[in-house]
Amino acid sequence: MEFSAKQIAEYLQGTIVGNPDVKVSGFSAIENGEVGTLSFLSNPKYSHYIYETKASIVLVNKDFTPEKEVSTTLIQVNNAYEALAVLLALVEQMKPKKNGVSPQAFISPSAKIGVNVYIAPFVYVGEGAEIGNYASIDANSYVGENVKIGENTILHAGVKVEKECEIGKDCILHAGAVIGSDGFGFAPTPDGSYRKIPQVGNVIIEDNVEVGANTAIDRATLGSTIIRQGVKLDNLVQIAHNVEIKKNTVIAGQSGIAGSSTIGENCVLAGQVGIAGHIEIADRCIFGAQTGVPNSIKEPKSVMQGYPAVPVSVFRRASAVYKNLPELQKAVNELLKNLPPNPQKGE
């Protein structure tokens, strides 16, 4: 299906600079743009590609001013990256959706299946489970007993949702995600071994949450591990038992949240961030890659990095000193050589 620059601009409420009649039928990255595709520019370090890209249409921010002539048609919008997301979502919505239950799936007689649900081959749906309208469950996924899956939620291949867990509406769980595995709970015994503590809680995932591939969210020891509305989790993220992640927080790959910690709203955790157990993080905090957080952060909008986590301005100054340590050590040694003898030390 083709769309003209005029149609796209009207849909995005953007402004055209160039040919309004040029048409596109696909997408491409700006550095590899092809004729007949739409691309975008939001990061200034990619600006030089706009003068050589072959993409027929490029979305740009309204404050972008070309330094020389541009051959492609531009559509100016408030936020090019967000506008691209809107267009991609539109294209996804236009694709035909699968529905129907495969005869090769196992559906417990006591399970409740909504209308226009898609359940692929080799899916298991346990006793008392509830699958909402328009949900999609791909091959080899497991839905345990008394699990609830909301409307329009998608479980990609191999997702496991263990018993009693609840998934809200409009969620996406990517391949291999595990929801409701046992929390890591063991009690030491006098002989040095560990006794397993039964994990009898569940996981509650609210609406519009996305969970990356091979991410694990552990069930609570008691009560619930809770992922609030709008949270986005990357691949390979570990969420331990009784954690609560509040609305619209995003967590990048290989990060881990230890047990019983609470992460505030609209926080950002970059890759490989580690949060210790039983602490609280205030709203709108940002943590740079590989930051370790051993204590609560009570000040909202804190920007932290390093281990232990310190304000990012302190981290940057410390990093500048750290890389100069060999030279500083050499300078100190030279100063020590030139010091006068100390009689008190018998020199």
Residues forming the active site: 241
The amino acid at residue 231 is V
Q: Are 126 and 147 in contact (CB under 8 A)?
A: yes
Quick count: other Cβ atoms within 10 Å of Cβ 339?
Answer: 8
Ramachandran sector of residue 336 (left: φ over 0; alpha: ψ -120 to 50; beta: rest) = alpha
Q: Which residues contact 4 (CB under 8 A, 6 or more apart)?
A: 20, 21, 22, 23
Six token digits for residue 3: 């769309």
Q: In whole angstroms, give the CA distance from residue 321 to residue 335.
A: 19
Helix (H, G, I), strand (E, B) or coil at 303: strand
The amino acid at residue 156 is H
Six token digits for residue 259: 């047990």
Q: What residues pair up with 200 in beta bridges, in sequence order?
A: none
Q: In whole angstroms, give the CA distance from residue 212 to residue 172.
A: 8
- For residues 20-31, one letter each, b for 16 or more C-beta atoms within 10 angstroms of the residue's C-beta and e for the rest, the string is eebbbeebbebe
